[in-house]
Amino acid sequence: MKTQIKQKRGNYTRDNLITPEKIYATKHLFTKYGHKNIPEILMMRLAGVTLEEIGDHFGRTRERIRQQEMLGCMMLCEMLREGYVAPAPKPEIPKELIEQRIEGIFSKRTVNALFNVSIKTIGGLIRKCEWDLLCIDGIGKKAVEDIKTYLLSVGLKLNKNK
What's the pTM value of the predicted model, to 2 decimals?
0.47
Which of the four pLDDT bands, split at 50, 70 and 90, describes residue 91? low
Of 26 and 107, the one with more pLDDT: 107
Domains of the chain: 4-82 (no CATH), 95-153 (1.10.150.20)
Q: Mean of the per-residue pLDDT values for the chain?
A: 81
User: pLDDT digits over 40-90, tens only?
Assistant: 888 888 888 899 999 999 999 999 999 999 988 888 878 777 776 655 556
DSSP run (H or E) holding 91: none
Question: What gap in Å lies between CA 19 and CA 58, rounded to an integer?
Answer: 22
Percent of the chain with pLDDT over 90: 38
Cα–Cα distance between 153 and 149 in angstroms, integer? 6
* CA gap 41, 52 in Å, rounded: 12
* Cβ contact 76:23 at 8 Å: yes
